[in-house]
């Protein structure tokens, strides 16, 4: 049996841990059943954002009339869009491979535990005193064998459909529906409820729904009752909440209905590694599982299922393993963004979550019209919503909807991480008339609301 200093299962962001350990002279086994780099650069956040960039340009041209510009799109080379994205994806694995030195051995295949510290890979058994599980998640299985999940788009193989039906109402469904619709592919989104992005603050998701449905055809409160596939076309029977039945046809059918743990592939039943009722591996505050020396990071834990969280966890685990870090990682705040049209960014609690937790707060919502850059965009729906602790001025939650929200949120994040006090956001100097200046009146209004609360 071959012995290593470290075994890593999953070559996504945990590849950085393999590089770090290998550079320190440790013998590392890195196991990956698919492509080096994992989901994010190959099948997830990176290629999807490359596609969204094309959608943004197309939307800008189509909506140029609001700037008194009469323009039209003569053609969109959809094949070239996907070819270029596929070319980018093809470069990912060689790029990752080039970063490993001679101390890192890459195994391609599925890891199977035969005991707590013994792993079988391709008929070979290996062991190590330290094992890191970073197996991530996969899309929930589509309800038809010819239907797609997001994994089937990157890279897209075969003919590009002229029409697509997307099932789901979360951020993956909304991002992809926005892309396909923007580049001229007939798109329908099917949502089981009356809401899009239900995890967002309700005021924000309501604005998103109003704006998103101006472009994308969405059937709310709808389920697919029957699916058949004939002559390269999906024939769908749709059942609506009121009991009515309609029929719909499209060349492609894509399910974006959530993600599930990959840990069911690891044969953990041969170990004492514990999982929760959703199949995610449980861990302590130092990322260690119920087995000493076996760690789990990223989506495999089911805790912070975001790429930036996984990257941060991997980096911190490296400090624990190789730099004698004694403090546990505690995320103060976990931001996220939805890269659709409109764009959303959020950090902290939604209003409903604050209510459920019984947290005392006040809330303010401010438009962006104090910023000349925002006025120039001719977009009037943009909003900043703050939830503030009225006793401490602490930002409990911040929710943005509007152009470049994912950039603007970092200004709020900086304040929250350094000294979480909304008054700092009010008192700081802003470049005029930058888009981020829209945060100034939002902060002023929030501080005034706190002062009014304290006077009562």
Under 8 Å between Cβ of 89 and 154: yes
* Residue 51 to residue 253: CA distance in whole angstroms: 18
Q: Given this model, what pLDDT does residue 181 score?
A: 97
User: Along the 456 residues of the chain, how does pLDDT read in single tens digits?
Assistant: 999 999 999 999 999 999 999 999 999 999 999 999 888 888 888 888 899 999 999 999 999 999 999 999 999 999 999 999 999 999 999 999 999 999 999 999 999 999 999 999 999 999 999 999 999 999 999 999 999 998 898 888 888 999 999 999 999 999 999 999 999 999 999 999 999 999 999 999 999 999 999 999 999 999 999 999 999 999 999 999 999 999 999 999 999 999 999 999 999 999 999 999 999 999 999 999 999 999 999 999 999 999 999 999 999 999 999 999 999 999 989 999 999 999 999 999 999 999 999 999 999 999 999 999 999 999 999 999 999 999 999 999 999 999 999 999 999 999 999 999 999 999 999 999 999 999 999 999 999 999 999 998
Reading the block at residue 452, the tokens are 């009014």
CB-based contacts of 418: which residues, under 8 Å, 6+ apart? 424
Q: Around Cβ 311, how many Cβ atoms within 10 Å?
A: 17
pLDDT of residue 39: 86
| β-bridge partners, 385 | 365, 399
Kindly write down the DSSP assignment for every residue of 366-379, as one continuous string.
Answer: EESTTSHHHHHTT-
**Tokens for 290?**
């119920």
Predicted TM-score (pTM) of this structure? 0.94
Strands 163-167 and 186-190: parallel
- pLDDT in the model for residue 284: 96
Instruction: Judge whether 296 and 290 are in contact, CB under 8 Å.
Output: no
Judge whether 208 and 218 are in contact, CB under 8 Å: no
**Residues sharing a CB contact under 8 Å with residue 233, sequence separation 6 or more, in sequence order:** 249, 250, 251
- In 3D, which of 176, 198, 172, 174 has the Cα closest to residue 185? 176
The CA distance from 394 to 385, in Å, is 14
Coil, strand or helix at 60: helix
Structural domains for the chain: 2-139+260-322 (3.50.50.60), 150-257 (3.50.50.60), 342-455 (3.30.390.30)
């Amino acid at each position: 049996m071959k012995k290593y200093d470290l075994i890593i299962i999953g070559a996504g962001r945990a590849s950085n841990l393999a590089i770090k350990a290998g550079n320190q002279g440790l013998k590392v086994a890195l196991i990956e059943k698919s492509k080096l780099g994992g989901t994010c650069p190959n099948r997830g956040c990176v290629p999807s954002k490359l596609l969204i960039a094309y959608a943004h340009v197309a939307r800008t041209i189509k909506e140029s009339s609001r700037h008194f510009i009469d323009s039209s799109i003569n053609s969109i080379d959809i094949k070239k869009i996907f070819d270029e994205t596929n070319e980018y994806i093809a470069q990912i694995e060689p790029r990752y491979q080039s970063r490993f030195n001679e101390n890192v051995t890459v195994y391609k295949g599925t890891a199977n535990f035969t005991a707590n510290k013994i792993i079988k890979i391709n008929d070979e058994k290996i062991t190590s005193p330290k094992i890191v599980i970073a197996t991530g998640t996969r899309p929930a299985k589509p309800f038809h064998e010819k239907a797609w999940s997001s994994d089937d788009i990157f890279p897209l193989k075969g003919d590009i459909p002229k029409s697509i039906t997307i099932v789901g109402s979360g951020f993956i469904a909304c991002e992809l529906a926005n892309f396909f619709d923007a580049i001229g592919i007939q798109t329908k989104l099917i949502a089981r409820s009356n809401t899009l992005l239900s995890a967002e603050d309700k005021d924000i998701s309501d604005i998103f729904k109003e704006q998103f449905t101006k472009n994308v055809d969405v059937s709310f409160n709808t389920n697919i009752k029957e699916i058949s596939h004939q002559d390269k076309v999906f024939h769908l029977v749709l059942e609506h909440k009121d009991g009515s039945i309609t029929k719909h046809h499209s060349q492609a059918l894509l399910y974006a209905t959530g993600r599930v743990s990959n840990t069911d592939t690891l044969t953990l039943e041969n170990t004492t590694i514990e999982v929760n009722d959703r199949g995610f591996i449980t861990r302590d505050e130092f990322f260690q599982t119920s087995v000493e020396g076996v760690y789990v990071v990223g989506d495999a834990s089911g805790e912070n299922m975001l790429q930036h969280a996984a990257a941060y966890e991997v980096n911190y685990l490296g400090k624990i393993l190789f730099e004698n870090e004694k403090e546990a990682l505690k995320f103060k705040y976990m931001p996220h963004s939805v890269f659709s049209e409109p764009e959303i960014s959020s950090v902290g609690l939604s209003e409903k979550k604050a209510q459920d937790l019984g947290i005392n707060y006040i809330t303010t919502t401010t438009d962006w019209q104090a910023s000349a850059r925002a006025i120039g965009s001719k977009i009037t729906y943009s909003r900043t919503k703050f939830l503030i602790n009225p006793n401490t001025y602490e930002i409990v939650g911040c929710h943005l909807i509007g152009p470049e929200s994912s950039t603007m949120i970092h200004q709020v994040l900086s304040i929250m991480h350094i000294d979480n006090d909304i008054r700092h956001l009010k008192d700081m100097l802003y470049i005029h008339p930058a888009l981020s200046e829209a945060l100034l009146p939002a902060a002023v209004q929030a501080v005034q609301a706190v002062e009014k609360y304290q006077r009562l």
